[in-house]
């Protein structure tokens, strides 16, 4: 099975999700999104495939989220902030031919395996 994980190796949930995928017999493509960044189109498609809005996929505990006052922002402004600051995207996301899921909780990815 082809799978991609948008991964932050410093995040314990991201590391556990990668382990979960491997335990299920899946060796995913690992994208270190903090290094590679996002395009707006990528995020729009990812969130649509996962059934989430940008505000639902935002990392609200990130200090930058508060600094940019994103709690009151439009979806467009949140997307723009995520493109400029990839750390604002919650992690990890897993994408397969069956769709995309935010692995919070980790078991969410089982829906697309």
3 contacts 26 by C-beta, under 8 angstroms: yes
Q: What is the pTM of this model?
A: 0.94
Is residue 11 annotated as a catalytic residue, yes or no?
A: yes
Q: pLDDT for 32-51, tens place per residue?
A: 999 999 999 999 999 999 99
Q: Could you give the CA distance from residue 89 to residue 59 in angstroms, rounded to a whole number?
A: 5
Question: What are the φ and ψ backbone dihedral angles of 85, each rounded to 5 degrees?
Answer: -135, 85
Which is more confidently placed, 1 or 14? 14
Question: What's the alpha-carbon Rg for the chain, to the nearest Å?
Answer: 13
Token duo for residue 84: 């400029």
Q: Which of 1, 4, 8, 11 is catalytic?
A: 11
96 contacts 113 by C-beta, under 8 angstroms: yes
């Amino acid at each position: 099975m082809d799978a991609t994980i948008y991964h932050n190796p410093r995040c314990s949930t991201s590391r556990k999700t990668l382990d979960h995928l491997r335990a299920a017999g899946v060796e995913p493509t690992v994208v270190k999104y903090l290094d590679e960044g996002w395009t707006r189109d990528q995020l729009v498609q990812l969130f649509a495939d996962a059934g989430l809005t940008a505000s639902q996929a935002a990392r609200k505990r990130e200090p930058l989220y508060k600094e940019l006052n994103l709690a009151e922002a439009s979806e467009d402004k949140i997307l723009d902030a995520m493109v400029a600051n990839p750390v604002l995207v919650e992690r990890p996301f897993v994408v397969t031919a069956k769709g995309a899921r935010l692995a919070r909780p980790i078991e969410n990815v089982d829906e697309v395996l």
